[in-house]
Amino acid sequence: MPDQHRIFIVDDHSVVRHGLATLLARVPELRVSGEAASYEEALAGISAQPPDLAVIDITLKDRSGLDLIRELRAKLPDLKTLVLSMHDEMEYAERALRAGARGYVMKENADDVLVEAIRAVLRGEVYVSPTASKRMVRNIAEGTAEPDTAGGIASLTDRERDVFERLGRGYTTKRIADELGLSARTVEVHRANIKRKLSCADAAQVLREAVKFVEARR
């Protein structure tokens, strides 16, 4: 058998990890070399035996998968990472690429495109859907792509950004907490941090800025 590429799966749902392992087992040149359910477990497993590529979900129990990608990029710059997530590609693909991922696939499309995406990333290419690719090119051309520099929205952490976007969609604190698996108190702490980082005078201004941000990305 020819050399196989080692794939590490990071997802906090065991049924998803099992399904991905079953899918990849059908591909002769790919081999699942490890899996993890959390940030810390993934960091330890990948650092101990670096794979050729890690498939990482954004939403993990302990920390954001985007934070994991950033840390892995710093520790293992040659490691390729691919995001597989339920989150809308239109909202998260650009963030994932900026964090260091080389591709983005939505879970609902995994059966059809995951293997193709893995092969593309292993070849050194970047994989996103044609729709997301066109949007990112348009954002760059129109000067609306997010800056790399700190300050403003770019200074928000991934979790603060998650809260900020949901505020812009009109979500209540309870709904945000339920959707992100946080306590209501933690959501309020994130709102306070957002208010400070964006230099907003009050909660109403935070909400206005969040709505403007969401509307600008539609």
| pLDDT confidence band for 150 (50 / 70 / 90) | very low
Q: And the tokens for 206?
A: 């935070």
Give me the residue spans of the domains in the chain: 5-138, 152-216
83 within 8 A of 75, measured Cβ to Cβ:
no
Q: What per-residue confidence (pLDDT) applies to 149?
A: 38
CATH number 1.20.120.1770 given to 152-216: no
Q: What per-residue confidence (pLDDT) applies to 91?
A: 73
The CATH code of the domain at 5-138 is 3.40.50.2300
Q: What per-residue confidence (pLDDT) applies to 67?
A: 87
Distance CA(29)–CA(207), nearest Å, equals 49
Distance CA(42)–CA(62), nearest Å, equals 11
Neighbouring C-alpha atoms within 13 Å toward the C-beta of 55: 33
Residue 36's alpha-carbon distances to 22, 33, 46, in angstroms, are: 16, 11, 9
Residue 172's alpha-carbon distances to 165, 187, 207, 212, in angstroms, are: 12, 10, 11, 17
Distance CA(58)–CA(99), nearest Å, equals 11
Q: What per-residue confidence (pLDDT) applies to 148?
A: 42
In tens, the pLDDT along 18-69 reads 999 999 999 999 999 999 999 999 999 999 999 999 999 988 877 789 889 9
152-216 and 5-138 share a CATH fold: no
Overall pTM surpassing 0.75 (yes/no): no
- Give the residue among 184, 206, 208, 207 at the shortest CA–CA distance from 196: 206
CA 106 to chain centre: 10
Residues in CB range of 163: below 8 A, 6 or more apart? 176, 180, 187, 190, 191, 194
Q: What per-residue confidence (pLDDT) applies to 142?
A: 60
